[in-house]
């Protein structure tokens, strides 16, 4: 899984979005979560230009197709750039993403969101995204990632 995620995220192998998104969809089918819409964790526009794509958005798009649920790529925006989270402590990660996200979609009020990302280490990014979504009036936020960092 680690190799697949690294190739997908850092080596532009976008074709992995299909099988990885299907894997996440299979999990969701087996573990029904009451969600209405898929929202990917956004990249800052500078990072998006550098990478050329948002890996979380590709996963959420694949899941939306497989589950026949809407996928809203621009519902959540990254409004503040941050340094990459790799190598930061848990507190540094929380500080790094604090206030970095904003929900731009007023139509999400009362909706149940599945927040999609590739990896979760401390949960700081998912937490910051959840706060932005809850401030916008969503009723519930679930998170689903491909992998979680192993405890050391």
Please state the rounded mean pLDDT for residues 62-73: 93
Q: Answer whether residue 74 shows pLDDT above 70.
A: yes
Q: Which of 82, 137, 143, 138 is nearest to 115 (CA)?
A: 143
Give the integer Cα–Cα distance in Å for 135 and 108. 11
Q: What is the pTM of this model?
A: 0.88
- The confidence score (pLDDT) of residue 16 equals 93
> pLDDT tier at 151 (50, 70, 90 boundaries)?
low
């Amino acid at each position: 899984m680690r190799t697949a995620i690294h190739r997908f995220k850092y080596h532009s192998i976008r074709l992995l979005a299909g099988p990885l998104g299907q894997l996440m969809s299979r999990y969701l089918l087996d573990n029904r979560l009451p969600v209405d819409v898929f929202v990917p964790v956004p990249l800052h526009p500078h990072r998006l230009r550098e990478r050329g794509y948002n890996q979380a958005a590709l996963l959420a798009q694949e899941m939306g197709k497989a589950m026949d649920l809407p996928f809203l790529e621009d519902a959540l925006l990254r409004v503040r750039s941050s340094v990459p989270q790799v190598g930061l402590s848990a507190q540094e990660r929380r500080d790094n993403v604090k206030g970095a996200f904003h929900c731009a979609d007023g139509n999400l009020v009362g909706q149940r969101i599945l927040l999609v990302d590739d990896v979760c280490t401390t949960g700081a990014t998912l937490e910051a995204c959840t706060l932005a979504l809850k401030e916008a009036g969503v009723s519930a936020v679930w998170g689903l990632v491909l992998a979680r960092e192993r405890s050391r």
